[in-house]
Chains A and B, each alone.
Chain A
Amino acid sequence: MDPAELKKIGIIQQKQKGLYAMRLRVVGGDLTALQLKEIARISEKYADGEVHLSTRQGVEIHNVKQADVAAAQKKFQQAGIEMGACGPRVRIIVACPGEATCRWGIVDTKGLAKKLDAEYFRKDTPHKFKISVTGCPHNCAKATENDIGVMGGILPKWEEKECTHCDLCVNVCPTKAICKEEGQYKLDVKKCIFCSICTALCPTSSWVVEKKGYSLFIGGTMGKTPRLGTRVADFIEDKNKLMKLTDNTIRFYREHGRKKERFGHLIDRMGEKKVIEEISDGV
């Protein structure tokens, strides 16, 4: 098979002639125990008995001989494991566990990651394109380092009724967004990172959730020229509305991105304001 075609599905020529790395399609780092056993068996048979975990939750087997690639690929297919992606296209969707198991998780990350995967995985783009979903502003899944980053968040609101004025909120807020003025707690929304620490910790639940949803960041990248993602919108409740924004984002990048130009660098070239206007149009 053509090496360029193989690369598209994550079968990558190693620097050693005749050897390939095989990258698998994993969504949000989730695999079943059965799939893991199957990956182990395939590695023992066709690779070197080792499994490599990539920096973005991908699972790979390395050192597969060219003659074994097709057989290994078939075995993965039979186990219900699809091949991954490499090159200028949408890569594996990364996600933290989110509200499913994490005490800080604000939103559903796994369901959204599956939706994003179904919609965009392996879609061609001017350069590599990475998507991540993180459940809250602790940002474990590094939403701000991805071309599209989705982050759960809440807007807190103080209600005086049950409040005992213990000052825990003032002291635990990580950005000092809460202060006390004339006996009243005040939130500085500009400083607030929407993390939910105040609402989760308040002993009398006097800090309540006023708004909750997904925040969208675009144009984050690490690599040789790092750039953190630009915040586009906050507290998006509807997954379909979010998907309209991500649709527009990827379409915009496909239309305007130059070959080998990461999305964040396109944003810097065209200007954040213009890009945000274009992708928010009609949403």
Chain B
Amino acid sequence: MEFNIAKSINLHDVVCPMNFVKTKVELESINPGEILEIFLDEGEAMLNVPRSLKEEGHKILKVIPIDGMYKIIVEKK
């Protein structure tokens, strides 16, 4: 599935809650309906960031595992 990515952010080694803070900053810089691509480490980050995205109403479209990390495709609310 191809997505029209507006912005991308690599959060490798960025711990909670800074990873979500940085995600929010990136989401601020795009328009509603546009797509942000987030690279997250497995473990704690994967438990917290998707949950926070859900709580704020953004839509996760796809999660793809890549070399011990995950690529999260998110549509801004």
Contacts and interface: CB of A to CB of B under 8 A. Distances in A.
Interface of A: 103, 164, 166-168, 170-172, 197, 200-203
Contact of B51 (A164, A170, A201): A201
A167 B50 contact: no
**Interface residues on chain B, size class:** 10 to 19
B51 A166 contact: no
A164 B46 contact: no
A203 to B, nearest CB: 4
Nearest to B62: A166
Interface in B45-77: 46-47, 50-51, 53-54, 59-65, 70, 73
Contacts of A171: 46, 63, 65, 70
A201 B47 contact: yes
Contacts, number: 35
Given A171-B65, A171-B70, A203 B47 contact: no
A203 B54 contact: yes
A233 B65 CA distance: 35
14 contacts: A166-B60, A166-B61, A168-B60, A168-B63, A171-B46, A171-B65, A171-B70, A172-B46, A172-B47, A172-B50, A197-B47, A200-B51, A203-B50, A203-B53
Contacts of A164: 59, 61
A205 to B, nearest CB: 9
A240 to B, nearest CB: 34
Contacts of A166: 60-63, 73
Nearest to A169: B63
A202 B63 CA distance: 11
A167 B50 CA distance: 12
A168 B46 CA distance: 9
A188 B32 CA distance: 37
Closest 5 CB pairs of A and B: A203-B60, A168-B63, A171-B63, A167-B63, A166-B60
Contacts of A172: 46-47, 50, 63
Contact of B50 (A103, A170, A201): A201
A84 B47 CA distance: 38
A167 B73 CA distance: 11
